[in-house]
Amino acid sequence: MRGVHERPAGLTYQPELIDDDEERSLLTALDALDFHDVRMHGQIARRTVRHFGFDYDYGSFQLTETEALPVALHWVRDRCANLAGLAPEALAQALVTRYPPGSVIGWHRDAPTFGPTVVGLSLGSACLLRFQRGSGKDRRVYELELAPRSGYVLTGAARSSWQHSIPPVPQLRYSLTFRTLRGARAGSDSLAG
Ligand SMILES: O=C(O)CCC(=O)C(=O)O
Ligand SMILES: [Fe+2]
């Protein structure tokens, strides 16, 4: 990637957020879920998703309340909340993404409908998480390898100023992404407005 290398402020990376046994049992649980297509700009992505807490419509950008996070997955949310310094209930939305080999997520910032903190957990294949902001001589880039079982937190500039993307994953990967909601009073992470 071209540009000046800079680590985004507000990015935290935690290797081994869960252990091997936890990853194995989680993979079994995720494997059994029904996943849904992601249709954006008339295109269907290769990755598939399942939302809990709130469903996100990729066309209208709207959130609607949906099925709660299964109790069997509460411990994962607890772990991710702990990493972010939040109360578990503050992580109101859980997104499970299934990336078949070669699938990607393109450059984006997470929707502003969501709150100031995004926490991710990786399972299965390792992949790269890329960051970019600015253009021309102000372009800044960063690349991080997400190992299986690792967690990351995006807050501050990493959440709101930088874009991120994942280039083709080498093997099957699952991620769990937990998000706060904008305007929600969320433990230590409250945001006015
Ligand atoms: O799979 C991941 O870890 C990142 C997913 C992501 O960026 C998103 O769903 O907004
Ligand atoms: Fe994202």
pLDDT in tens, 41-76: 889 999 999 999 999 888 888 899 999 999 999 999
> Mean pLDDT across the stretch 5-22?
98
- ipTM value, please give it: 0.99
For ligand 1, atom 2, which residue shows the shortest CA distance? 175
Q: Specify the pLDDT at position 143.
A: 98
The string of pLDDT tens digits covering residues 109-168 is 999 999 999 999 999 999 999 999 999 999 999 999 999 999 999 999 999 999 999 999
Using pLDDT thresholds of 50, 70 and 90, give the confidence band for residue 190: very low
Tokens 């290398």 found at? 5
Q: Is residue 189 predicted with pLDDT exceeding 80? A: no
The Å distance, Cα 129 to ligand 1 centre, comes to 9
Please report, for the chain, the start and end positions of each structural domain, with discontinuous segments joined by +.
Answer: 4-181
Mean pLDDT of 83-99: 97
Burial class (CB in 10 A: 0-12, 13-18, 19+), 162: buried
pLDDT of residue 185: 53
Going by CA atoms, what residue is nearest to atom 1 of ligand 1? 175
Asked if residue 160 lies in contact with residue 118, where contact means CB atoms within 8 angstroms, the answer is: no
User: Taking 80 as the threshold, does the pLDDT of residue 85 lie above it?
Assistant: yes
Percent of the chain as helix, strand, coil, to the nearest 5: 20, 40, 40
- Tell me, what's the pLDDT at 40? 84
* Residue bearing the CA closest to ligand 1, atom 10: 110
Mutate to test the pocket of ligand 1, among 146, 164, 165, 171 (most ligand atoms within 8 A of CB): 164
Find the ligand nearest to 108 CA: 2
Q: What is d(CA 107, CA 174) in angstroms, rounded to the nearest whole number?
A: 18
Per-chain residues with Cβ under 5 A from ion ligand 2: 110
Structure tokens at 95: 């997104």
Q: What is the pLDDT of residue 61?
A: 84
Answer yes or no: pTM beyond 0.90.
Answer: yes
Q: Which pLDDT band, with edges at 50, 70 and 90, does 180 fall under?
A: very high
What CA–CA distances, in Å, run from 134 to 6, 33, 139?
12, 38, 4
Using CB distances shorter than 6 Å, the residues near ligand 1 are 95, 97, 105, 110, 120, 164, 166, 175, 177
> What is the CA(108)–ligand 1 centre distance, in A?
9
Residue 62's pLDDT is what? 87
Topology annotation, domain 4-181: Jelly Rolls (2.60.120)
